[in-house]
Amino acid sequence: MKNAEKLHILDEILVKGASTNNLKSVDLSIPKNKLTVVTGVSGSGKSSLVMDVLFAEGQRRYVESLSAYARQFLSRMKKPEVEYISGLSPAIAVEQKVVGGNARSTVGTMTEIYEYLRMLYARIGITYSPVSGKEVKKHTVSDVV
């Protein structure tokens, strides 16, 4: 493997030929170390891609890395219908159901990442005026007087 290919693997997840449920030979590249969201209309294959391909393969690879003794206590995961996936790390998934508490809970509030994202966006976000489209800046006293 060439150095450029090794660097390529480090910064993205590559999926080639995913053909599970509604997916028909889908190829895609997902950047790593970024917040990535998968959206689409009902039946477009979002859950198939995320749960049946990415999560299943991430879990399968993780389980295969365990000792034979540890694997005997875990159920065997089926390999997803895909030509190849590269750059994939072990994966976790949050179930698509309400886990109690507030009906307004989100993945962000349940995983406690919401507060961190809120602070991050407040500190590094750039506000633009919906009227002028220009960046909104903090005014000093001399600007106002």
Domain holding 40: CATH number? 3.40.50.300
62 and 41 co-located in one domain = yes
- Which residue would you say has higher pLDDT here, 76 or 79? 79
Please tell me whether residues 136 and 80 are part of one structural domain: no
Question: Distance (Å, rounded) from C-alpha 136 to C-alpha 101?
Answer: 38
**126 lies in the same domain as 64:** no
Could you read off the pLDDT of 94-139 as tens digits, one per residue? 776 666 667 777 778 877 888 888 899 888 888 899 999 999 988 8
Same domain, 86 and 131: no
Query: Quick one: 52 and 105 in the same domain?
Result: no
Closest CA to 96 of 125, 145, 55, 143: 55
Place of tokens 């540890």: 70
Number of domains in the chain: 2
**In the β-sheet with 26-31, what is the strand arrangement from edge to edge?**
26-31, 12-18, 84-86
Verify that 72 and 104 share a domain, yes or no: no
Q: Are residues 115 and 141 in the same domain?
A: yes
Last residue of a domain, one of 58, 75, 93: 93
Please report the pLDDT score of residue 26 as a whole number: 92
- Give the range of the structural domain holding residue 80, as residue numbers without chain letter: 1-93
Same domain, 86 and 112: no
Q: What is the 8-class DSSP label of residue 139?
A: P
Output the 3-class SS for 35-104.
CCCCCCCCCCCHHHHHHHHHHHHHHHHHHHHCCHHHHCCCCCCCCCCCCEEECCCCCCCCCCCCCCCCCC
Query: Global pTM?
Result: 0.61
